[in-house]
Structure 1
Amino acid sequence: MATTARRQRPARPLVTLLVLVAALFGGLLAGTTWSDASMTPDLALDLEGGTQVILTPVTDDETRVTEDTIRQSIEIIRQRVDASGVAEAEISAQGGSNIVVGLPGTPTAQTLALVRESAQMLFRPVIVSAGPEPYEPPSEEGGDEQLDAVPGGQEPDGEAEGAQPDATAEDQAPVAEGDQDAVDPDGQEPGDAPEPADPSDFAWLTDEVLEEFNARDCTAEANLRGGAEIVGEVDEPVVACEASGAAKYVLGPVEVMGADIDNAQSGLRVGSTGVVTNEWVVNISFDSDGSRTFRQVTERLIELEAPRNQFAMVLDGLVISAPQVNTVITDGNAEISGGFTQESAGTLARQLNFGALPLTFVVQSEQQISATLGSEQLQKGIVAGLIGLLAVGVWSLAQYRALGLVTISSLAMAGLLAYGTITLLSWVQGYRLSLAGVAGLIVAIGITTDSFIVYFERIRDELRDGRSLAAAVDLAWARARRTILISDVVSIIAAVVLYMLAVGGVRGFAFTLGLTTIIDLVVVFAFTHPVLKLLSRRRFFAQGHRWSGLDPSLLREGSPRYAGRGRVVSPARTGSPDRTGSPDRTGSPDRTMTEGKMR
């Protein structure tokens, strides 16, 4: 009963498809009115131009600049750019050491920052924190100038299992006045401190470190740019600004490297009872080596007072987060919490994931570049696609006559869906159409047309066997859809494999090829087949009009046809099947082929 009902209502999938198309373009129109959407897809670097950044490695050991480290750096930069939502970026090596990053269109400041941030991600313990302004201690009358700082003068930037986002300037405690001298737990002056016992020891606060700390102005733009020159040695303390300029720190030697991070991701916090809360957090996990080191660090920090119970995450010499430890983390899985928004949590997760470059880079040059192919080549690509469509349309009309109109309308529907989908992806995902992507769209014309040909020829085969058009459409569909599915699945698998293994423009080709193959399946199932079901009820097609494409003369009615297994049959006249839809048993008798002779 259900099958019969579906056969009698072929308009349902057509209506569903039309609603889908209306929703697709309606969403785009709404986006152009109330958001930054456009009714045309964004173009890639080869068609629109963009920004080119050239990065040069900075290292004292030239042997570290190898093909392998450059390749690793390119992959991490690519991950950063992809995570920011920019598609079709071109990232390649130049001269064996430099890295050239081409970003299409007008990239955001955040995307450019992800490219420029080139230092390794480092984890250092906090020793001293204070407000961002420089501080000049008063001179004592008749004595030498004293350098003062207050350990613990900064409120902690997070909580035990996690961290708050960067504190605001109002949250920062000012550096103490001259009568408050910094001392270690043993009461010794910083300048006279003994050898440090651990990376959190006050003994790291030498006169030189305190002088730099008091003089550092973290409200100055020049001190918030980051760079290799301010990263410091891994086994020495450093003075670092908070990335937003809200605080400054004295940090101990590096204890955990960014390369020890296994994964970091943002999301809503899940409570101990399994209930999802409305609080955004960042979950970070370390590899086996990092987990062991991180456990030892948290065992020490949990026993210390603020701010020495904070663990700073330093990227390119700037502190991006300084969470306070409130529990010993034994399994290498930590949760950073405290006032995050969805955007800030996502940014921190991306920085943690993709911050650890094997080399430190500086920006050699940054400039706007023009399109390498430009609008002329895009126009030629579009013209080539239109010529292909025209050729397919003419061939379909010549081969299938009125039935060829189904091919043309199906291709038009597929093109409409492909255009709308690519434009929508440009808006919501940052996808950009390259010339290689245009080539994928042109190739898809042949894939889509092939599906229609398979179906139409199956229908003709059933008609040659003497079935009515209505029966032929159903029986042909049952056989053709399996062939269509297998063919399209193979194309999708090929596109997915190509996309995963390739880079640059080849990925653009693979993406559009896979997308249009999926659209082909949607169109064949929700448009072509229902349309043929409706046409089979029309006398023009059902009676085999000479212009219908189902004319008996086109089907070679009355001529013998090889039926397999050494049998040749003469099909019955069109329109004379028995009630079961089988060939007329009163037709010409079977003739058997033996030893090349017919008798």
Structure 2
Amino acid sequence: MATKTNRPGRTLLSLLIAVAVAVGALVVGHFTQGAGFTPKLALDLEGGTQVILTPKLEAGSESRAVTAEDMNEAIAIIRQRVDASGVAEAEISTLGSNNIVVSIPGETDESILNLVRTSATMRFRPVLQVLSPTALDTSQIPQSETELAAMTAEELADTLADINGDGIISDEVEGTPENNSDTAWVTEALTRDALLLDCTDPANLAGEITDDPAKGMVACSVEGDTKYILGPVDIEGTHLKSASAGMETNAAGQTTGQYAISLELDGEGTKLFTEASNRLYNFSATDPTRNRFAVVLDGNVIIAPSMNVPITDGRASITGNFTAAEAMDLANQLQFGSLPLNFEVQSEQQISATLGVDHLEKGLWAGLIGLILVVLYMAWQYRGLALLSAGSLVVAAGLTYLIITLLSWTMGYRLSLPGVAGLIIAVGITADSFIVYFERVRDEVRDGRPLDLAVEEGWSRAKRTLVISDMVNLVAAGVLYVLAVGGVQGFAFTLGITTIVDLIVVFLFTHPMMSLLVRTKFWGGGHRLSGLDPQHLGATNAATYRGRLNLGSEGRTKPRGGASEATTGSNAPAAQDDNGKQLSLSERRRLAAVSQTNEADAGESSND
């Protein structure tokens, strides 16, 4: 036996509270974090920034050709970097055979552009000397490059000592270096470069990779406040297995309040880092400067920590004064590895929308016209129930708009024109759910159930169909999202959102409202314009439709309203009703059951 709905008023109230909480979160986000009240638009509707990258071959490798595999791998890595930064609907493709075009929608943050511009080549080098960031005052030394080159390292050191009272190199300038931490790597040319490099000049922090991994180098910190002389590379960044950012924890497992970047090296990297960490740790008591190793990213030192203990398991943690955003950006750069090629930025420009607001306006008009046509059809087919159908569509539209706006704020989602197409499909999905539900109610009424029970029993059977149908849509949207890229992904994403919204609306709005409507006089009383009148539903008679029975004077049940009774004493009901209308098989079976009940009641009365 069907059961009545469980307090539809509470269900509607829970939906209202959820919407109020979401709206409140958006309002708070607007005033505290600048969240917008409208969804962000994708490249085809708003425009953005376009960067064209051209492969740059290193010196001595001009004979190597750039392959299609190199380009495809570079595109995949750049896409991972951009997606990890929270930007949706970015377009990354090749231009010709040797260029990559990266188009990022909206006003693009500089950190995101840096993810595209840089190759994220990371190397571990030992620190040999730490210097002041400023350059030597060349007015106090020979001016010509020839004279500078002719000076020995000792002469340059003496010159610097005369200027600021400090030397920059050790006496070990000759012989074969014992290891990568040997100061013999500080050659005359390296000393000259250190004297002339000005780390306070932003142009020297551009991050161009010009170093030779087999030799020492001079590098600036990314902040430009320190200058380093570094030994040859101990470990290449290609041995980095993974990188992640999070709160640093101490030995007791408690957080220290600082952000750290955890690195994990592969097997070969673990062996190399074990040797390097042991060597550096040996300097902890004798030479604190050479106890440090520098993490060099694209030619700049991002951090140069001391080696507190030897690391033998290939797991290292980089700590410093990182903010959460800085730690996450750096981890993203390192996590997705180095690009297979070095690239230079050929052009960077702002681009206008490829489709523009005009196409968006036409898409919205198409959705509105489709909505009006659906409502008109509902009014013609289901009369007063068209109000419930239209209300479901309005609620679904409002929820979808709210969810997309929240996603634009929290995860950087952007609405593209294919995404708008996915939203328009929601009109048909929601209307179809209502039709399936109503037709199940009609079937129950035709089978002889009273209207209130028909609504509950129809819902019990319809919801299984609705859930299965929407699950099929969700699976299709999920597969399309995983396999597709660009605009098609946007279509799949919005299709999935609208499918979930349809389930929310039909469970938390459409069914509870139907349960409340059948309790009113207009709908539940069967007004001819309500869409729930007996003739429109196909009920056999008004008594069956309303489910109200009176006791006759002889103690037998008799339909209220003067409807004809089934003849007692016969198990075979007539094939037609009193109006000559042909009865269905289910209606004839129902009349047979009523006839048997009446005969039993009559037998009991006669025995008494």
Question: For the superposition of Structure 1 and Structure 2, which TM-score range results when normalised by the shorter chain?
Answer: 0.7 to 0.9
Partner of 1:481: 463
Which deviates more from structure 2 when the two are superposed, residues 23-32 or residues 84-93? 23-32
Which deviates more from structure 2 when the two are superposed, residues 415-424 or residues 324-333? 324-333
Checking the alignment, whether the CA contact within 8 Å between 1:465 and 1:572 is kept in structure 2 is no
Secondary structure of the corresponding residue to residue 254 of structure 1:
coil
Closer, same or farther in 2 for the Cα pair 1:558/1:468, shift >3 Å?
Answer: closer
CA shift digits 1:50-96 (9 cap, x unpaired): 11100011113454522222112112212222222222111111112
1:440 to 422, 428, 451: 422
1:189 to 152, 172, 180: 172
Partner of 1:217: 198
Checking the alignment, whether the CA contact within 8 Å between 2:445 and 2:538 is kept in structure 1 is no
Matches within 5 A, 1:236-275: 236-275=215-254
Partner of 2:155: 146
CA shift digits 1:289-330 (9 cap, x unpaired): 323322232222222233323232222212222232212222
- Which whole-Å CA distance do the structure 2 matches of 1:149 and 1:40 have between them? 65
- Which whole-Å CA distance do the structure 2 matches of 1:488 and 1:277 have between them? 47
Checking the alignment, whether the CA contact within 8 Å between 1:120 and 1:359 is kept in structure 2 is no
Secondary structure of the corresponding residue to residue 41 of structure 2:
coil
TM-score (norm 1): 0.84
Checking the alignment, whether the CA contact within 8 Å between 1:226 and 1:318 is kept in structure 2 is yes
1:555 CA drift (Å): 3.0
Closer, same or farther in 2 for the Cα pair 1:593/1:329, shift >3 Å?
Answer: same
Say whether 1:54 aligns with 2:52: yes
Secondary structure of the corresponding residue to residue 536 of structure 2:
coil
- Which whole-Å CA distance do the structure 1 matches of 2:202 and 2:306 have between them? 27
Which deviates more from structure 2 when the two are superposed, residues 404-413 or residues 337-346? 337-346
Q: Which amino acid aligns with 1:574?
A: Y
1:276 CA drift (Å): 3.8
Say whether 1:490 aligns with 2:490: no
Say whether 1:199 aligns with 2:180: yes
Bigger CA radius of gyration: 2
1:518 to 497, 500, 503: 500
1:7 to 5, 8, 12: 5
- Which whole-Å CA distance do the structure 2 matches of 1:131 and 1:149 have between them? 16
Closer, same or farther in 2 for the Cα pair 1:325/1:500, shift >3 Å?
Answer: farther
Checking the alignment, whether the CA contact within 8 Å between 1:455 and 1:480 is kept in structure 2 is yes
Closer, same or farther in 2 for the Cα pair 1:514/1:176, shift >3 Å?
Answer: farther
Partner of 2:545: 574
CA shift digits 1:114-172 (9 cap, x unpaired): 211125222222222222111359779xx97722399xxxxxxxxxxxxxxxxxxxxxx
Say whether 1:321 aligns with 2:303: yes
Which deviates more from structure 2 when the two are superposed, residues 396-405 or residues 537-546? 537-546
1:339 CA drift (Å): 3.2
1:178 CA drift (Å): 5.2
1:232 to 197, 203, 211: 211
Which deviates more from structure 2 when the two are superposed, residues 425-434 or residues 51-60? 425-434
Matches within 5 A, 1:350-369: 350-369=332-351
- Which whole-Å CA distance do the structure 2 matches of 1:263 and 1:294 have between them? 15
Q: Which amino acid aligns with 1:85?
A: G
1:593 CA drift (Å): 12
Partner of 2:91: 90
Matches within 5 A, 1:64-75: 65-75=66-76
1:386 CA drift (Å): 0.9
1:543 CA drift (Å): 3.0
Q: Which amino acid aligns with 1:86?
A: V
Checking the alignment, whether the CA contact within 8 Å between 1:149 and 1:181 is kept in structure 2 is no
1:234 CA drift (Å): 2.4
CA shift digits 1:510-534 (9 cap, x unpaired): 1111111111111111111111111
Partner of 1:506: 488
Aligned-CA RMSD value: 3.0
Q: Which amino acid aligns with 1:356?
A: S
Matches within 5 A, 1:341-352: 341-352=323-334
Secondary structure of the corresponding residue to residue 553 of structure 1:
helix
Checking the alignment, whether the CA contact within 8 Å between 1:466 and 1:575 is kept in structure 2 is no
Q: Which amino acid aligns with 1:56?
A: T
- Which whole-Å CA distance do the structure 2 matches of 1:593 and 1:556 have between them? 11
Q: Which amino acid aligns with 2:167?
A: Q
Secondary structure of the corresponding residue to residue 289 of structure 2:
coil
2:167 to 180, 201, 204: 180
- Which whole-Å CA distance do the structure 2 matches of 1:424 and 1:359 have between them? 38
Partner of 1:468: 450
1:577 CA drift (Å): 7.5
Checking the alignment, whether the CA contact within 8 Å between 2:120 and 2:333 is kept in structure 1 is no
1:503 CA drift (Å): 1.3
Which deviates more from structure 2 when the two are superposed, residues 330-339 or residues 69-78? 330-339
Matches within 5 A, 1:337-486: 337-486=319-468
1:37 to 14, 28, 35: 35
Secondary structure of the corresponding residue to residue 156 of structure 2:
coil
Q: Which amino acid aligns with 1:148?
A: A
Q: Which amino acid aligns with 2:178?
A: A
Q: Which amino acid aligns with 1:212?
A: D
TM-score (norm 2): 0.83
CA shift digits 1:89-118 (9 cap, x unpaired): 111111122110111111111111221112
Closer, same or farther in 2 for the Cα pair 1:42/1:283, shift >3 Å?
Answer: same
- Which whole-Å CA distance do the structure 1 matches of 2:82 and 2:346 have between them? 19
Partner of 2:599: none
Q: Which amino acid aligns with 2:195?
A: N
Partner of 2:19: 21
CA shift digits 1:229-254 (9 cap, x unpaired): x4322222221111121212222222
Checking the alignment, whether the CA contact within 8 Å between 1:467 and 1:577 is kept in structure 2 is no
Closer, same or farther in 2 for the Cα pair 1:121/1:284, shift >3 Å?
Answer: same
- Which whole-Å CA distance do the structure 2 matches of 1:593 and 1:241 have between them? 89
Checking the alignment, whether the CA contact within 8 Å between 1:56 and 1:98 is kept in structure 2 is yes
Q: Which amino acid aligns with 1:211?
A: R
Partner of 1:99: 100
Unaligned stretches of 5+ in structure 2? 143-150, 551-558, 560-564, 576-582, 586-608
